[in-house]
């Protein structure tokens, strides 16, 4: 299977603990996105990487959240001092877009992983 | 900012019935439009897309036409099957230079098809 993979699939933690999620994109994809989905809602954009550069962050991404993509391949999303309001499904998506700059107009098709469901007790 | 509005569900249909799920959007410029589907216990899958006005996206018997004049992208299928039971999400992606292609989603519409 060469799709987007995410680990772990489920995470239960206590309030105040730190958690880290991993996303492995489709191998040739240079763009990687993180979204958060709460029950009964559509996914909401969190952040985006082009190769290893984090180019955009949503205001939803508080300073307790940090994301990295150190070698332009896999990415991690860390939440520090978790709160009950952080409980959600965290989705990763990847895509391929030619060109080195996000200055190019156009769109790319994003392929989603299965998500990591976080429950904060 | 960009937004997507979908009809609320759940939508319950008998097998072989005609399906329409309404989707309208608000965006600057001319975004790309998508329908994603989420089957029970699975991740989001791209169902179809359209990147410019009057384009029709189609896949697995589903169709949607990009209507700029009504800012709509309604999803249709002529004859639904039980296996189509899922949550359907309408989404847009901006096509503005200097902007990431982040997706803005609607709240999703749950479809249940019965025998």
Give a three-class secondary structure readout of B74-111: CEEECCCCHHHCEEEEEEEECCCCCCCCCCEECCCEEE
CA angle (A105 as vertex; A114, A109 as ends), nearest 5: 20
Nearest CA in chain A to B89: A42
Option in B51, B98, B108 nearest A107 (CB): B51
Mean pLDDT, residues B77-105 taken together: 89
Those residues of chain B whose CB sits closer than 8 Å to some CB in chain A are 4, 31-32, 34, 36, 42-46, 49, 51, 89, 91, 93-108
pLDDT attached to residue A108: 78
B110, B55, A33, A52 alpha-carbon torsion, rounded to 10°: 170
How many residues does the structure list for chain A?
121
Question: Which residue stretches of chain A have pLDDT < 50?
Answer: 100-105
Q: How far apart are CA B73 and CA B88, in angstroms?
A: 13
pLDDT attached to residue A103: 46
Contact present, A79 and A17 (Cβ < 8 Å): no
Q: By C-alpha distance, which of B26, B50, B24, B21 is closest to B37? A: B21
Residue B46 and residue A111: Cβ atoms within 8 Å? yes
Q: Give the model confidence (pLDDT) of A72-104 as tens digits.
A: 899 999 999 999 999 999 999 999 876 544 444
pLDDT attached to residue A107: 65
DSSP category for residue B32: E
Structure tokens at B102: 């982040």
Residue A110 and residue B96: Cβ atoms within 8 Å? no
Option in B31, B97, B105 nearest A43 (CB): B105
Residue B55: burial class (beta carbons within 10 Å; 0-12, 13-18, 19+) = middle
Residue A42 and residue B89: Cβ atoms within 8 Å? yes
A39–chain B nearest CA distance, Å: 10
Contact present, B87 and B108 (Cβ < 8 Å): yes
Residue B44 and residue A91: Cβ atoms within 8 Å? yes
């Amino acid at each position: 299977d060469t799709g987007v993979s995410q680990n772990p699939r489920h995470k239960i933690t206590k309030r105040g603990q730190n958690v880290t999620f991993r996303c492995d994109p489709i191998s040739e994809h240079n763009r990687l996105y993180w979204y958060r989905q709460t029950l009964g809602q559509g996914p909401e954009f969190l952040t985006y990487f082009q190769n290893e550069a984090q180019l955009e962050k949503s205001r939803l991404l508080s300073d307790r959240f940090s994301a990295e993509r150190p070698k332009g391949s896999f990415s991690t999303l860390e939440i520090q001092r978790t709160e009950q309001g952080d409980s959600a499904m965290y989705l990763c998506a990847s895509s391929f877009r030619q060109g080195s700059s996000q200055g190019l107009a156009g769109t790319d098709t994003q392929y989603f992983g299965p998500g990591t469901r976080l429950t904060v007790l | 900012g960009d937004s997507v509005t979908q009809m609320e569900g759940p939508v319950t249909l008998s097998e072989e019935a005609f399906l329409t799920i309404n989707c309208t959007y608000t965006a600057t410029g001319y975004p790309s439009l998508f329908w994603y589907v989420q089957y029970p216990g699975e991740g989001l899958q791209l169902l179809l897309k359209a990147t410019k006005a009057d384009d029709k996206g189609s896949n697995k018997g589903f169709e949607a036409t990009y209507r700029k004049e009504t800012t709509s992208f309604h999803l249709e299928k002529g004859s639904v099957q039980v296996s189509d039971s899922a949550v359907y999400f309408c989404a847009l992606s901006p096509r503005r230079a200097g902007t990431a292609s982040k997706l803005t989603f609607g709240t999703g519409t749950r479809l249940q098809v019965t025998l």
